[in-house]
Structure 1
């Protein structure tokens, strides 16, 4: 659904502005990323209103997205697969309640996973030169490490879920 929709939108943009420097495939890719984000955010927020977990879901999505920019991780082949998996993940995580010890434990494990695996699979996903990847790892470690001080359970579970997606260099079998 996302890919055909983004293609139609890109073709329409190109027909309205034929001199635009971006090609239809480039526009399609950018629109697919945008639509993916909009569908994940919108669907997850709608579900969270019904579950009464909106604050938790917003915290989880923000923490996940922020850390993901620094660490990378698995990418699914299908936009709708990504929407479905991400929506279920964020909604499911909002129902997990960690006490202080589990929060600290999840944070420490996340830091270890970052130390070993980050960044993973971002070579073709970012414009940041590879020579800066060690800085991304340090920034991610600091970001996650701050939760040792704040001990926010939903941030810890979000960071933990994101860092699990780093294992195997972000090259898991994708849907």
Structure 2
């Protein structure tokens, strides 16, 4: 659904502005990414309004997205699959209750996973040269370590979920 919609939008944009230097495939890709983000965010927030977990979902999505930019991780092949899995993941994580010990434990495990696996799978998705990847790892480690001080259970469970997506057995 996302890919055909992005294609139709890209073709329309190109028909309105035919001299624009950006090609239809490039526009389609950019629009697919944007639509994916809009669908995930919108659907998750709508569901969270019904479940009365909006604050938790916003914390989870922000922590997940921020860390994902530095560490990468598993990607699904389908845009709609990504929307479905991400929405279910964020909504489900908003119901997880961690006490202080589990929050610290989840944060420590996340830090370890970052040291071992990050960044993962970002080679073709970033313009950052590979020589800076160790800085991304260090930055992600430092950002996650702040949760040892904050001890927010929703940040802990969100970053743990993101860090689990770094693991790729085939690598």
- What TM-score do you get using the length of structure 1 for normalisation? 0.96
Partner of 1:2: 2
CA deviation digits over 1:83-130, x for unaligned, max 9? 000000000000001000000000000000000000000001111111
Root-mean-square deviation (CA), in Å? 1.0
In the alignment, structure 1 residue 153 sits paired with structure 2 residue 145: no
Q: For structure 1, which runs of at least 5 residues remain unmatched after alignment?
A: none
Matched pairs, number: 171
Partner of 2:16: 16
Cα distance in 2, alignment partners of residues 2 and 129 from structure 1: 30
CA deviation digits over 1:15-41, x for unaligned, max 9? 001111110000000000000000000
Cα distance in 1, alignment partners of residues 153 and 19 from structure 2: 50
Cα distance in 2, alignment partners of residues 85 and 128 from structure 1: 27
Q: How does 1:51-70 map to 2 (within 5 A)?
A: 51-70=51-70
Partner of 1:163: 163
1:66 Cα shift?
A: 0.1
Partner of 2:75: 75
Partner of 1:127: 127
Q: How does 1:73-152 map to 2 (within 5 A)?
A: 73-152=73-152
Partner of 1:25: 25
CA deviation digits over 1:116-155, x for unaligned, max 9? 0000000011111111000000000000000001100000
- What TM-score do you get using the length of structure 2 for normalisation? 0.98
Cα distance in 1, alignment partners of residues 125 and 92 from structure 2: 27
1:168 Cα shift?
A: 1.3
